[in-house]
Amino acid sequence: MAYINGIGIISPQNTLPGQEFLEPVVEHTGDFLKAVEPVFKTYIDPIAARRMSRLIKMGISSAKICLQDAGIGMPDAIITGTGLGSVEDTEKILAELTLEGKFLNPTPFIQSTYNTISSQIAIALKCHEYNSTYVHRCFSLESCLIDALLQLGEGSAVNVLAGGIDEMTMNHLTIIRRLGIWKREAIRNLDLWSCGTPGAVAGEGSAYFIISGEKNDHTYARLVAAGTLYKPGSASETATLVTSFLNENGLSHDEIDLVMMGNNGYAENDRICEEIVSLALPHTARVMYKHLCGEYHTVSGFALFVAAGILKKQFIPSSLVVQSAAPKKIENILIHNHYRNTDHALILVRK
Amino acid sequence: MPSRIFVTGLGFISGIGNNVQENLDSLLNLRSAVGPVRHIETSLSEELCVSEVPLSKKELLAFAGISGTEACSRNSLLGMIAAREAFIHAHLAENMGLRTGLISGTTVGGMDECEKYYQDFLGNDSRNEFIDIYDCADSTEKIADYLGLKGFMTTISTACSSAANSILFAARMMKAGKLDCAIAGGTESLTKFHLNGFNALKILDKKPCRPFDATRNGINLGEGAAYLVLETEEANRKTGNRIICELTGYGNACEAFHQTASSPDGTGAYLAMKKALDMSGEHPYNIGYINAHGTGTDNNDLSEGRAIETLFPEKVPYISSTKPFTGHMTSAAGSAEAIIAILALQNGIIWPNMNFSTPMPELNFRPASELIRGIDLNVVMTNSFGFGGNDTSLIFKKYGIY
């Protein structure tokens, strides 16, 4: 059995240590939802931090917050999922390639490699254990969780530090907007579900978890399983695979009390998410959360933080949007996520 | 008891060959691909020495048998070609009922089109079809679609150990009963992105690289892709595939020392090799050959050499780095060199560490400097160490040897 024994999360909401569970709501009115940063020098040696890009600082800080939350000094494995790694550093290099040959600063190149986050966490902790990085769109965090569960099963680790992290920049937003993925206009995040314009709203964040084989006073919830569905096809084919995932984990649809929806404010996509859930989980209460954090490859880290908090506290914060009646009990939560409705990912958490 | 993991298919494209047989022929004939840059438009072309796959984008499209109407990176094409060879070798088309995973390692190879059109991406709509193909997952999904794979897949990026970690993760998924077989490895095409990045780090040798030599002066970058088909025992009973060898050990450890440098004593390298050795249950002296990471940098070869001496205190096995043949294939190096080590195992050959002449004063061993035939090899090891101290070692054993 696997337990979530610690969480460290930097997100567009007030999710830093000592803050209430998603209260008060942070309103965003820009082009994307920017993470609320902690004071980085609380977690990172200021001399080391000077050369680090923002993503690396977010990663190390959230990892350290997570370890403190779990009351652990040294994890037995460090695993990171990131769709894009340090976008800021990658862009610096791409911009400088026009001046080829004169490009002399190696720091952005070093930091642009995706494994920098996991390895910088290892350097900060002096952790020589298993270390890996998954970089597959909406499978990135789920792959980490699958790896973490394997580690526990193999007996090679008791406490695995696993997390997902991605950042957004204005240039990247501009580029992806060309594909019609993001909304063309700036909107107020709390109006996401009513604005009706095409495209999703982008976000960012970093969420690390201690996935442990041992239950203790820090335990939030149980991590039952994570799953990835590669291009499953139509909504009904996807729903069939969601049902199989539940069955493989010994559950039927009516045992899922809450589903964290993949909806991101892009009506065309949201309709498909709703169709999948209507077919696979017809009676389950639905929670929408992406108005709080935006859309990004590892957004299910935010969802997992929310789900773990709901299971521990046994209440649903008012900042979340609940479709249908609130459930009577909250034992099992399914997180459904997707990458532009082609790839789908699932995480199952239990009280 | 977890299943044994058998290797039943290989696929390999590099500067020295478009398939496994051509790579073997080049190794046997001491043919290196290291030379000036031909395919990438770069102002560094005369300055650097690299190993390129000698096919243009158009030729790769033709080789892969695809029309080229869909935007596809060189990185994806190399991956598709090598994965197809492994897929055919292991008759996977006739075994679609198995739960087949695809685990692929890559880092910046997909940047090849993006780096050309980045200014267009920012300024206009003329190159939008290339926007979506630069992330790491794109090459993995292209390979999956090309081969009709619908099962579990993921992409790993641990820099120069990416492909080795893909093999390791695939084996763990299989032992845990989550997959019956897997195509695991990595792909990486050369790009201006890496040439300039590594150049800025001042670790590229302008002459052919000389791993483990006292005069070594850095890396020659290479490109290509390599994939292994792994099967559980039970899946192998269904496929009836000939067992090429067995993956008996793997180890992943982290240096936790510096983002781009290895520790002088090679802590991470030692731990990765030790974990792999412990899992395999082999006495250190059963290891007949180590295909070293051996990049040719000052730092790697010293640190790896010391770690090997610590693990094998009395006598080190035959050791060579084959990067003077293929260049450093970065994210694909782990699976490429796994195949090169397997070819050594199959043929009883020690591959030479080309360009070696002067021993390093800090080390007590010399790499094999000439091709040696007729060696009774039973167990081989291959090392892959990445930036950030992501170190992974793999051990392969002849099937049927106890």
Residue B258 falls in the annotated catalytic set: no
Of A137-151, B44-58, B231-245, which gets the smallest average pLDDT? B44-58
Per-residue b/e over B92-109, b at no fewer than 16 CB within 10 Å? beebeebbbbbbbbbbbb
Out of B239, B260, B283, pick the residue that ends a domain.
B239
- Amino acid, res. B329: M
- For residues B31-48, give the mean pLDDT: 89
Alpha-carbon dihedral sign for residues A183, A169, A21, A329: positive
Both B303 and B331 in one domain: the answer is yes
Both B89 and B186 in one domain: the answer is yes
CATH number reported for the structural domain that contains residue A227 in this entry: 3.40.47.10
Both A190 and A172 in one domain: the answer is yes
- Pseudo-torsion of CA B234, B240, B241, B243, nearest 10°? 60
Answer whether A100 sits within 8 Å of B44, measured CB to CB: yes
- Across A89-244, the runs of DSSP E, i.e. the strands, are 130-134, 159-166, 205-212, 221-229
Q: What percent of chain A has pLDDT over 90?
A: 93
Alpha-carbon Rg of chain A, whole angstroms? 19
Nearest by CB to residue B157, choosing from A93, A115, A128, is A115
Phi and psi dihedrals of B87, rounded to 5?
-60, -45
| Residue B287 lies inside a defined structural domain of this protein | yes
Answer whether B158 sits within 8 Å of A78, measured CB to CB: no
DSSP label of A328 = S
Classify burial at A139, counting beta carbons within 10 Å of its beta carbon; exposed 0-12, middle 13-18, buried 19 or more: buried
Classify burial at A85, counting beta carbons within 10 Å of its beta carbon; exposed 0-12, middle 13-18, buried 19 or more: buried
Out of B208, B239, B270, pick the residue that ends a domain.
B239
Both A155 and A233 in one domain: the answer is no
Both A32 and A179 in one domain: the answer is yes
Query: SS3 string of chain B?
Result: CCCCEEEEEEEEEECCECCHHHHHHHHHCCCCCEECCCCCCCCCCCCCCEECCCCCHHHHHHHHCCCCCCCCCHHHHHHHHHHHHHHHHCCHHHHCCCCEEEEEECCCCCHHHHHHHHHHHHHCCCCHHHHHHCCHHHHHHHHHHHHCCCCCEEEECECECHHHHHHHHHHHHHHCCCCCEEEEEEEECCCHHHHHHHHHCCCECCCCCCCCECCCCCECEECEEEEEEEEEHHHHHHHCCCCCEEEEEEEEEECCCCCCCCCCCCHHHHHHHHHHHHHHCCCHHHEEEEECCCCCCHHHHHHHHHHHHHHCCCCCCEEECCHHHHCECHHHHHHHHHHHHHHHHHHCCECCCCCCCCECCCCCCCCCCCCECCCCCCEEEEEEEEHHHEEEEEEEECCCCC
| Residue B387 lies inside a defined structural domain of this protein | yes
Res B134: pLDDT: 85
Give the distance from residue B253's alpha carbon to the nearest chain A alpha carbon, in angstroms: 5
CA dist list (Å): A211 to A226, A345, A349? 13, 19, 12
Residues of chain A found within 8 Å of residue B204, distances taken between Cβ atoms: none
Looking at B39, B89, B194, B328, which residue is catalytic?
B328
Average of per-residue pLDDT values in chain B: 95
The total number of structural domains in chain B stands at 2
Alpha carbon of residue A83 to chain centroid: 10
| Residue A114 lies inside a defined structural domain of this protein | yes
Out of A212, A241, A258, pick the residue that ends a domain.
A212
Answer whether A100 sits within 8 Å of B196, measured CB to CB: yes
Answer whether B193 sits within 8 Å of A94, measured CB to CB: yes
Residue B72 falls in the annotated catalytic set: no
Both B216 and B277 in one domain: the answer is no
Both A175 and A254 in one domain: the answer is no
Residue B259, pLDDT above cutoff 90: no
Among chain B residues, CA nearest to A134: B156
Both B177 and B274 in one domain: the answer is no
Distance CA B88, CA B290 (A): 28
Both A120 and A189 in one domain: the answer is yes
Res B2: pLDDT: 85
Residues of chain A found within 8 Å of residue B45, distances taken between Cβ atoms: none
- For residues A296-307, give the mean pLDDT: 98
Q: What residues make up the domain containing A55?
A: 2-212
Both A122 and A239 in one domain: the answer is no
Per residue in A311-329, pLDDT tens? 999 999 999 999 888 888 9
Residues of chain A found within 8 Å of residue B219, distances taken between Cβ atoms: none
Residues of chain B found within 8 Å of residue A119, distances taken between Cβ atoms: 254, 256, 259, 387-390
- For residues B76-95, give the mean pLDDT: 97
Answer whether B259 sits within 8 Å of A139, measured CB to CB: no
Answer whether A113 sits within 8 Å of B254, measured CB to CB: no
- For residues A291-310, give the mean pLDDT: 98
Nearest by CB to residue B388, choosing from A113, A146, A176, is A113
Both B210 and B228 in one domain: the answer is yes
Binning pLDDT at 50, 70 and 90, where does residue A101 land?
A: low
| Residue A30 lies inside a defined structural domain of this protein | yes
Looking at B39, B89, B194, B293, which residue is catalytic?
B293
Residues of chain A found within 8 Å of residue B255, distances taken between Cβ atoms: 122, 128
Nearest by CB to residue B169, choosing from A78, A112, A147, is A147
Closest CA to B320 of B275, B372, B273: B372
CATH number reported for the structural domain that contains residue B216 in this entry: 3.40.47.10
Residues of chain B found within 8 Å of residue A85, distances taken between Cβ atoms: 157
Both A144 and A85 in one domain: the answer is yes
ipTM of the complex: 0.97
Give the distance from residue A22's alpha carbon to the nearest chain B alpha carbon, in angstroms: 32
Give the distance from residue B364's alpha carbon to the nearest chain A alpha carbon, in angstroms: 27
Binning pLDDT at 50, 70 and 90, where does residue A45 land?
A: very high
Distance CA A150, CA B373 (A): 41
Both B194 and B213 in one domain: the answer is yes
Res B400: pLDDT: 81
DSSP label of A52 = -
Both B164 and B297 in one domain: the answer is no
Nearest by CB to residue A84, choosing from B135, B154, B158, is B135
Residue B248, pLDDT above cutoff 90: yes
Res B402: pLDDT: 62
Residue A103, pLDDT above cutoff 70: no
Per residue in B185-228, pLDDT tens? 999 999 999 899 999 999 999 999 999 999 999 999 999 999 99
| Residue A217 lies inside a defined structural domain of this protein | no
Residues of chain A found within 8 Å of residue B136, distances taken between Cβ atoms: 114, 135-136
Residue B89 falls in the annotated catalytic set: no
Among chain A residues, CA nearest to B149: A230
Binning pLDDT at 50, 70 and 90, where does residue B382 land?
A: very high
Q: What percent of chain A has pLDDT over 70?
A: 99
Residues of chain B found within 8 Å of residue A48, distances taken between Cβ atoms: none
Answer whether B131 sits within 8 Å of A101, measured CB to CB: no
Distant-in-sequence, close-in-space partners of A141: CB < 8 Å, separation ≥ 6: A81, A134, A162, A163, A164, A207, A226, A298, A300, A301, A304, A345
Among chain A residues, CA nearest to B260: A110
Of A86-100, A202-216, A337-351, B336-350, which gets the smallest average pLDDT? A86-100
Give the distance from residue A292's alpha carbon to the nearest chain B alpha carbon, in angstroms: 26
- For residues B69-92, give the mean pLDDT: 95
Both B271 and B374 in one domain: the answer is yes
Alpha-carbon Rg of chain B, whole angstroms? 20
Closest CA to A201 of A296, A272, A136, A287: A296
Res A97: pLDDT: 85
Give the residue from A132, A141, A184, A344 with the most B CB atoms within 10 Å of its CB, the best one to mutate: A132
Nearest by CB to residue B252, choosing from A120, A132, A143, is A132
Alpha-carbon dihedral sign for residues B271, B253, A230, A142: positive
Distance CA A106, CA B200 (A): 5
Out of A189, A212, A235, pick the residue that ends a domain.
A212
Nearest by CB to residue A115, choosing from B150, B154, B158, is B158
Give the residue from B40, B136, B195 with the most A CB atoms within 10 Å of its CB, the best one to mutate: B136
- For residues A27-43, give the mean pLDDT: 97
Looking at B49, B136, B160, B181, which residue is catalytic?
B160
Both A207 and A226 in one domain: the answer is no
Both B229 and B269 in one domain: the answer is no
pTM of the model: 0.98
Q: What residues make up the domain containing B222?
A: 5-239
Out of B182, B212, B239, pick the residue that ends a domain.
B239
Answer whether A101 sits within 8 Å of B44, measured CB to CB: yes
Give the distance from residue B103's alpha carbon to the nearest chain A alpha carbon, in angstroms: 10
Answer whether B154 sits within 8 Å of A228, measured CB to CB: yes
DSSP label of A104 = -
Res A325: pLDDT: 81
Nearest by CB to residue B197, choosing from A106, A122, A130, is A106
Res B44: pLDDT: 84
Per residue in A125-179, pLDDT tens? 999 999 999 999 999 999 999 999 999 999 999 999 999 999 999 999 999 999 9
Res B58: pLDDT: 92
Residue B28, pLDDT above cutoff 80: yes
Answer whether A97 sits within 8 Å of B268, measured CB to CB: no
The total number of structural domains in chain A stands at 2
Phi and psi dihedrals of A93, rounded to 5?
-70, -45
Both B227 and B190 in one domain: the answer is yes
Q: Establish how many alpha carbons lie within 13 A of residue A142's alpha carbon, considering only the half-sphere containing its beta carbon.
A: 31
Residue A288 belongs to what H/E stretch?
Answer: strand A285-288
Question: Are A211 and A6 a contacting pair, CB within 8 Å?
Answer: no
Distance CA A27, CA B385 (A): 45
| Residue A286 lies inside a defined structural domain of this protein | yes
- For residues B13-19, give the mean pLDDT: 98
Both A185 and A207 in one domain: the answer is yes
Both A256 and A116 in one domain: the answer is no
Residues of chain B found within 8 Å of residue A177, distances taken between Cβ atoms: none
Distance CA A207, CA A246 (A): 25
Both B57 and B174 in one domain: the answer is yes
Answer whether A113 sits within 8 Å of B108, measured CB to CB: yes
Out of A156, A177, A212, pick the residue that ends a domain.
A212
Per residue in A179-207, pLDDT tens? 999 999 999 999 999 998 999 999 999 99
Closest CA to B293 of B223, B375, B207, B353: B353
